[in-house]
Amino acid sequence: MPDNSTTAAPPVAGTQQACPIGPVVDLVFSRWTTPILWTLHQYGRQRFVELQRRIATITPKVLTQRLRQMERDGLVRRTYHPEVPPRVEYEITDLGRSLAPLFATLAEWSAEFLPAVEQAREAFDAEQRPLAVRRA
């Protein structure tokens, strides 16, 4: 059997190498991580039910999953109080809080540039409508 090791293509760098912020985007900007971190940053320590109420569209199952992952990632701290009935609270950690400047910058960008994004979408859609009519 011939040795193909010298003709094989070099390994392709992973997406982590190609885009150094890829892991951060995966970590922080999942659908629910950002609202959870934002809520904990804005309102401080919260019980599960309080978080669920503030993020009205999240299901209990998804909230539980995201909180566990965020605890594992070091962004959220879970505190269990052994009392009757048991009480569990969640709070943002210093590591999670370190993302506050990033969120503030994104909020500023949103306020300044989302109207331009909406205008670009409307212009694009207006240009596409005649094409859709011609194709029909």
Q: Is 8 helix (H, G, I), strand (E, B) or coil?
A: coil
Q: Tell whether 82 and 127 lie within a shared domain.
A: no
Same domain, 24 and 50: yes
51-89 core/surface letters (b: 16 or more CB in 10 A; e: else):
bbebbeebeeeebeebbeebeeeebbbeeeeeeeeeeeb
**What is the pLDDT at residue 1?**
46
Residue from 31, 19, 21, 32 nearest 102 by CA:
21
The CATH number of the domain where 68 resides is what?
1.10.10.10
Q: In terms of domains, do 23 and 41 share one?
A: yes
d(CA 133, CA 136): 5
Task: With respect to residue 38, please indicate whether it lies within any of the assigned structural domains.
Answer: yes
Residues spanned by the domain of 124: 99-136
Under 8 Å between Cβ of 74 and 95: yes
- Residue 39 inside a domain? The answer is yes
In whole angstroms, give the CA distance from residue 40 to residue 55: 11
Predicted TM-score (pTM) of the model is 0.71
12 domain residue, yes or no: no
pLDDT tens, 68-126?
A: 999 999 999 999 999 998 899 999 999 999 998 988 898 899 999 999 999 999 999 98
